[in-house]
Amino acid sequence: MRATLAAIAYIALAACSAEPEPTPTPTITPTPDKPKTLVPGDFADLVLGAKVGDEAASKFALDGQELAEVTSYVACPEGMDECKPAEFPADTVLTYVHRVTPAKGVAGATLFRTARPAAGFANLVGYDMAEAAAALGQDGKIDVASDNGALVWRVIGGDGWKAGETITFYWQSKLPPEGEQIAYQFEADGTTALGTGPFPPKEKPVEETPAR
Protein backbone atom coordinates (compact mmCIF):
# COMPACT_ATOMS: atom_id res chain seq x y z
CA MET A 1 0.00 0.00 0.00
CA ARG A 2 2.80 2.37 0.95
CA ALA A 3 4.52 1.68 -2.36
CA THR A 4 1.31 2.44 -4.25
CA LEU A 5 0.79 5.72 -2.39
CA ALA A 6 4.39 6.69 -3.00
CA ALA A 7 4.01 6.00 -6.71
CA ILE A 8 0.84 8.09 -6.91
CA ALA A 9 2.50 10.95 -5.03
CA TYR A 10 5.51 10.79 -7.34
CA ILE A 11 3.31 10.91 -10.46
CA ALA A 12 1.31 13.86 -9.08
CA LEU A 13 4.47 15.74 -8.17
CA ALA A 14 5.94 15.14 -11.64
CA ALA A 15 2.76 16.40 -13.29
CA CYS A 16 2.79 19.57 -11.21
CA SER A 17 6.45 20.29 -11.80
CA ALA A 18 6.35 19.67 -15.55
CA GLU A 19 7.03 22.91 -17.39
CA PRO A 20 4.42 23.98 -19.97
CA GLU A 21 5.50 24.07 -23.60
CA PRO A 22 6.91 27.47 -24.51
CA THR A 23 4.59 29.75 -26.45
CA PRO A 24 5.95 30.42 -29.95
CA THR A 25 7.36 33.95 -30.33
CA PRO A 26 5.43 35.90 -32.98
CA THR A 27 7.47 36.87 -36.03
CA ILE A 28 7.30 40.55 -36.90
CA THR A 29 6.80 41.08 -40.63
CA PRO A 30 7.94 44.50 -41.85
CA THR A 31 5.14 46.56 -43.38
CA PRO A 32 6.15 48.29 -46.62
CA ASP A 33 6.11 52.07 -46.38
CA LYS A 34 3.02 53.63 -47.90
CA PRO A 35 3.38 56.75 -50.03
CA LYS A 36 3.25 59.85 -47.84
CA THR A 37 1.14 62.69 -49.20
CA LEU A 38 3.02 65.99 -49.46
CA VAL A 39 1.54 69.48 -49.62
CA PRO A 40 2.86 71.13 -52.80
CA GLY A 41 3.91 74.74 -53.14
CA ASP A 42 3.50 76.94 -56.19
CA PHE A 43 6.61 77.45 -58.30
CA ALA A 44 5.38 80.97 -59.09
CA ASP A 45 5.89 81.92 -55.44
CA LEU A 46 9.60 81.06 -55.44
CA VAL A 47 12.31 83.67 -55.80
CA LEU A 48 15.53 81.95 -56.78
CA GLY A 49 19.16 82.97 -56.94
CA ALA A 50 21.86 82.07 -59.43
CA LYS A 51 22.03 78.65 -61.07
CA VAL A 52 24.55 75.90 -60.45
CA GLY A 53 26.09 75.54 -63.89
CA ASP A 54 24.01 75.41 -67.05
CA GLU A 55 20.56 74.07 -67.80
CA ALA A 56 20.43 70.42 -68.86
CA ALA A 57 18.15 69.17 -71.62
CA SER A 58 17.13 65.52 -71.88
CA LYS A 59 14.45 63.25 -73.31
CA PHE A 60 12.36 60.45 -71.89
CA ALA A 61 12.37 57.74 -74.55
CA LEU A 62 11.90 53.97 -74.72
CA ASP A 63 12.78 51.79 -77.71
CA GLY A 64 12.98 54.83 -79.94
CA GLN A 65 9.63 56.19 -78.79
CA GLU A 66 9.98 59.68 -77.36
CA LEU A 67 7.58 60.40 -74.51
CA ALA A 68 8.71 63.82 -73.28
CA GLU A 69 11.41 66.45 -73.16
CA VAL A 70 12.74 67.87 -69.90
CA THR A 71 14.89 70.90 -69.20
CA SER A 72 16.39 70.94 -65.71
CA TYR A 73 18.52 73.22 -63.58
CA VAL A 74 19.50 73.76 -59.96
CA ALA A 75 19.24 77.17 -58.32
CA CYS A 76 20.68 78.70 -55.18
CA PRO A 77 18.54 80.64 -52.70
CA GLU A 78 17.45 84.22 -53.31
CA GLY A 79 20.28 86.71 -52.92
CA MET A 80 23.07 84.43 -54.11
CA ASP A 81 24.49 86.04 -57.26
CA GLU A 82 27.02 83.24 -57.66
CA CYS A 83 26.23 79.59 -57.03
CA LYS A 84 29.42 77.74 -56.10
CA PRO A 85 28.73 74.53 -54.14
CA ALA A 86 32.26 74.47 -52.71
CA GLU A 87 31.58 77.78 -50.96
CA PHE A 88 28.07 77.04 -49.66
CA PRO A 89 27.27 77.74 -46.01
CA ALA A 90 26.07 74.70 -44.08
CA ASP A 91 22.48 73.61 -44.80
CA THR A 92 22.14 75.75 -47.94
CA VAL A 93 18.88 74.72 -49.61
CA LEU A 94 19.01 74.26 -53.39
CA THR A 95 16.02 74.12 -55.72
CA TYR A 96 15.91 71.43 -58.42
CA VAL A 97 13.67 72.58 -61.29
CA HIS A 98 12.30 70.48 -64.17
CA ARG A 99 10.24 71.79 -67.10
CA VAL A 100 8.57 68.73 -68.61
CA THR A 101 6.79 68.73 -71.98
CA PRO A 102 5.05 65.59 -73.33
CA ALA A 103 6.20 64.74 -76.85
CA LYS A 104 4.18 64.85 -80.04
CA GLY A 105 1.53 62.15 -80.12
CA VAL A 106 1.22 61.76 -76.34
CA ALA A 107 -2.47 61.68 -75.41
CA GLY A 108 -2.25 61.21 -71.66
CA ALA A 109 0.83 61.71 -69.50
CA THR A 110 0.19 60.57 -65.95
CA LEU A 111 3.34 60.81 -63.85
CA PHE A 112 6.71 62.47 -63.30
CA ARG A 113 8.94 61.33 -60.45
CA THR A 114 12.44 60.79 -59.17
CA ALA A 115 13.56 57.25 -59.87
CA ARG A 116 15.42 57.03 -56.56
CA PRO A 117 15.15 58.59 -53.10
CA ALA A 118 15.63 62.36 -53.16
CA ALA A 119 18.88 62.71 -51.22
CA GLY A 120 19.01 65.63 -48.81
CA PHE A 121 15.31 66.37 -49.33
CA ALA A 122 14.42 69.61 -47.53
CA ASN A 123 10.66 68.86 -47.30
CA LEU A 124 9.73 71.47 -49.90
CA VAL A 125 8.22 70.38 -53.20
CA GLY A 126 5.69 71.58 -55.75
CA TYR A 127 4.90 72.62 -59.30
CA ASP A 128 3.71 75.58 -61.37
CA MET A 129 0.00 75.63 -60.58
CA ALA A 130 -0.95 78.02 -63.39
CA GLU A 131 0.73 75.77 -65.95
CA ALA A 132 -0.97 72.72 -64.46
CA ALA A 133 -4.39 74.40 -64.57
CA ALA A 134 -3.87 75.42 -68.20
CA ALA A 135 -2.87 71.87 -69.15
CA LEU A 136 -5.34 69.85 -67.10
CA GLY A 137 -8.37 72.13 -66.85
CA GLN A 138 -10.34 73.08 -63.75
CA ASP A 139 -11.12 69.48 -62.77
CA GLY A 140 -7.53 68.26 -62.94
CA LYS A 141 -4.96 68.24 -60.18
CA ILE A 142 -1.52 66.90 -59.35
CA ASP A 143 -1.03 64.80 -56.25
CA VAL A 144 2.46 64.91 -54.75
CA ALA A 145 3.82 62.15 -52.52
CA SER A 146 6.98 60.64 -51.10
CA ASP A 147 7.26 56.95 -51.96
CA ASN A 148 10.07 55.38 -49.91
CA GLY A 149 11.99 58.62 -50.29
CA ALA A 150 11.34 59.11 -54.00
CA LEU A 151 9.20 62.10 -55.01
CA VAL A 152 6.13 61.48 -57.16
CA TRP A 153 3.92 63.97 -59.03
CA ARG A 154 0.78 62.18 -60.29
CA VAL A 155 -1.84 63.68 -62.61
CA ILE A 156 -5.41 63.10 -61.44
CA GLY A 157 -8.46 63.74 -63.64
CA GLY A 158 -9.03 66.80 -65.77
CA ASP A 159 -8.52 67.03 -69.52
CA GLY A 160 -5.30 65.03 -69.39
CA TRP A 161 -1.70 66.14 -69.76
CA LYS A 162 -1.10 66.08 -73.49
CA ALA A 163 1.58 66.76 -76.09
CA GLY A 164 3.12 70.23 -76.00
CA GLU A 165 1.78 71.17 -72.55
CA THR A 166 4.69 72.18 -70.31
CA ILE A 167 4.46 71.83 -66.53
CA THR A 168 7.30 72.92 -64.24
CA PHE A 169 8.08 70.76 -61.21
CA TYR A 170 10.47 71.51 -58.37
CA TRP A 171 11.88 70.07 -55.17
CA GLN A 172 14.47 71.25 -52.69
CA SER A 173 17.53 69.56 -51.24
CA LYS A 174 20.37 70.40 -48.89
CA LEU A 175 22.80 68.65 -51.22
CA PRO A 176 24.27 70.07 -54.45
CA PRO A 177 24.02 68.04 -57.67
CA GLU A 178 26.56 65.39 -58.57
CA GLY A 179 26.32 65.92 -62.31
CA GLU A 180 23.57 64.53 -64.52
CA GLN A 181 22.24 61.11 -63.60
CA ILE A 182 19.56 58.71 -64.82
CA ALA A 183 17.38 59.61 -61.87
CA TYR A 184 14.00 60.65 -63.28
CA GLN A 185 10.99 58.78 -64.61
CA PHE A 186 8.03 59.71 -66.81
CA GLU A 187 4.86 57.80 -67.65
CA ALA A 188 2.47 58.37 -70.54
CA ASP A 189 -0.04 56.27 -72.46
CA GLY A 190 0.88 53.17 -70.47
CA THR A 191 4.62 53.48 -71.18
CA THR A 192 7.37 54.32 -68.71
CA ALA A 193 10.77 55.81 -69.57
CA LEU A 194 13.80 57.01 -67.64
CA GLY A 195 15.63 60.28 -68.21
CA THR A 196 18.63 62.22 -66.99
CA GLY A 197 18.97 65.39 -64.99
CA PRO A 198 20.96 66.96 -62.17
CA PHE A 199 20.71 64.93 -58.98
CA PRO A 200 22.49 64.92 -55.60
CA PRO A 201 24.77 62.07 -54.52
CA LYS A 202 23.45 59.29 -52.33
CA GLU A 203 23.49 60.16 -48.67
CA LYS A 204 26.08 58.32 -46.60
CA PRO A 205 24.61 56.16 -43.82
CA VAL A 206 25.10 57.51 -40.33
CA GLU A 207 27.88 55.56 -38.63
CA GLU A 208 26.97 54.15 -35.26
CA THR A 209 29.24 54.98 -32.34
CA PRO A 210 30.71 51.72 -30.98
CA ALA A 211 29.68 50.84 -27.44
CA ARG A 212 32.36 51.19 -24.79
1-53 pLDDT, tens per residue? Answer: 444 444 444 444 444 445 556 555 544 444 456 789 999 999 999 999 999 99
CATH of the domain at 154: 2.60.40
Tell me if 25 is assigned to some domain.
Answer: no
What are the residues facing 26 on neighbouring strands? none
Question: Domain containing 49: what range?
Answer: 36-198
**Could you give the CA distance from residue 210 to residue 212 in angstroms, rounded to a whole number?**
6
In a domain, 5, yes or no: no
Instruction: Collect all residues with Cβ–Cβ distance below 8 Å to 143 and sequence separation of at least 6.
Output: 37, 152, 153, 154, 156
Question: What is the value of pTM for the model shown?
Answer: 0.81
Distance between CA 97 and CA 99 in Å, rounded?
Answer: 7
Select from 209, 103, 129, 120 the least CA-distant residue to 172. 120
Mean pLDDT score of the chain: 87
How many structural domains compose the chain? 1
Cβ atoms 167, 100 nearer than 8 A: yes
Q: Is 16 contained in some domain?
A: no
Among positive and negative, which fits the CA dihedral 195, 123, 174, 94? positive
Q: Is residue 18 part of a domain?
A: no
Q: Give tens-digit pLDDT for 64-89.
A: 899 999 999 999 999 998 888 888 88
**With contact defined as beta carbons under 8 Å apart, do 192 and 185 qualify?**
yes
